[in-house]
């Protein structure tokens, strides 16, 4: 009996720790996923969309901390019942997504591991059974350190996770699991098939204001810099002075520079005039831009389609031509 309790405890704890960590290093990705869940096409709770980021951070911290407390044996009754309730919610959401084909990727493991909706649902069924077994076996969930050690370790873990969340929102994800990560080739990503049957990179088109497609041309150019502004209305306006400095430097060093945005071209031209930006804008789907880089504005460099650098505007000075 004890060995089964230990195995169930380890499996559930490691699953929650892994799931929480891969989202902790990229909380904006989870926020975008919650925006999708809250949309009119899924749960029809659009009033929650503005709160998607704090909601995602809160849920990530709860998820990873429950993994920690289960692993070390801190407050086993509270931990196991909390795990049961949160998994029950996930179970409903993943069933709803799978049965009605609403969300093709739940984002349960961020961008690190992609599962189909039914695979995700089945994973949650296994978890709910194991957690139920752990609730039944609570008395055997012994702590691995003295009470004071449990408290200090729990609080220290929470503070570390809070700092990681703050850091990656200010800069960039600590680990980039997406097909646009540094070192990845975009053309290759267009040929690789994901679990949903679509290419890992799709809907990547670079169009001028008059509809000219520059995708192939720019993906075969050696030194390219893109300034990514997925939505000008919510972009950090303080970032464009640094954008100007880094793009001017790039232009002087032979880079082809374009802005990528889904916003109206008239608004972007006004921005160029106000900030004296020396590059033109291309239209790209907003969802694609949010996938490319977790910054608004953000900067990405390519060499013949291979990503060579990515920066939040705050770190634009780190670009070296």
Give the number of other Cβ atoms within 10 Å of residue 194's Cβ: 15
Strand partners, 280: 258
Residue 74, token pair as written in the block:
């801190």
- Cis peptide upstream of residue 160 (ω within 30 degrees of 0): no
Q: Is the pLDDT of residue 197 over 90?
A: no
pLDDT in tens, 102-142: 666 666 766 667 777 788 888 899 999 999 999 998 888 88
pLDDT in tens, 262-272: 999 999 999 99
Cα 13–chain centre separation: 22
Residue at token pair 């179970």: 91
Confidence band for 82, pLDDT divided at 50, 70 and 90: very high
Q: Is the pLDDT of residue 100 over 80?
A: no
pLDDT in tens, 277-304: 999 999 999 999 999 999 999 999 999 9
**pLDDT recorded at residue 229:** 97
Mean pLDDT (the chain) is 91
Q: Is the pLDDT of residue 95 over 90?
A: no
Strands 306-312 and 298-303, by their bridges, are antiparallel
Query: pTM higher than 0.85, yes or no?
Result: yes
Query: Residue 141: what are its φ and ψ, rounded to 5°?
Result: -85, 75
pLDDT in tens, 30-70: 888 888 878 777 777 888 888 999 999 999 999 999 999 99
- For the chain, which domains are there? 2-170 (no CATH), 186-318 (3.40.30.10)
Q: Is the pLDDT of residue 1 over 70?
A: yes
DSSP for 252-296, please give it: HTT-EEEEEESS-HHHHHHHHHHHT--SEEEE--HHHHHHH-S-S
């Amino acid at each position: 009996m004890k060995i089964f309790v230990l195995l169930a405890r380890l499996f559930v704890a490691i699953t929650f720790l892994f799931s929480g960590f891969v989202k902790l290093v990229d909380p904006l990705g989870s926020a975008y996923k919650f925006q999708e869940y809250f949309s009119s096409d899924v749960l029809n709770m659009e009033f929650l969309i503005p709160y998607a980021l704090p909601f995602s951070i809160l849920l990530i911290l709860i998820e990873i901390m429950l993994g920690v407390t289960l692993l070390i044996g801190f407050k086993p009754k509270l931990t196991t019942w909390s795990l049961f309730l949160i998994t029950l919610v996930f179970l409903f959401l993943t069933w709803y997504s799978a049965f009605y084909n609403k969300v093709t990727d739940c984002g349960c493991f961020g961008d690190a591991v992609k599962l189909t909706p039914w695979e995700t649902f089945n994973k949650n069924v296994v978890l709910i059974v194991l957690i139920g077994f752990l609730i039944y076996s609570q008395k055997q969930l012994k702590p691995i350190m003295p009470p004071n050690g449990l408290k200090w370790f729990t609080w220290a873990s929470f503070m570390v996770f809070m700092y990681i969340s703050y850091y990656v929102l200010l800069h960039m994800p600590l680990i980039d699991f997406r097909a646009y990560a540094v070192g990845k080739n975009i053309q290759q990503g267009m040929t690789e098939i994901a679990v949903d049957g679509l290419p890992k990179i799709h809907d990547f088109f670079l169009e001028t204001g008059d509809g000219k497609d520059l995708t192939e041309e720019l993906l075969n150019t050696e030194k390219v810099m893109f300034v990514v502004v997925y939505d000008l209305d919510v972009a950090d306006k303080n970032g464009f002075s640094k954008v100007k400095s880094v793009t001017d430097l790039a232009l002087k060093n032979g880079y082809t520079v374009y802005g990528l945005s889904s916003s109206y071209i008239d608004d972007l031209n006004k921005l160029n005039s106000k900030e004296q930006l020396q590059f033109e804008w291309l239209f790209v789907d907003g969802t694609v831009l949010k996938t490319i880089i977790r910054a608004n504005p953000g900067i990405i460099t390519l060499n013949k389609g291979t990503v060579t650098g990515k920066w939040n505007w705050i770190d634009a000075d780190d670009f070296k031509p």
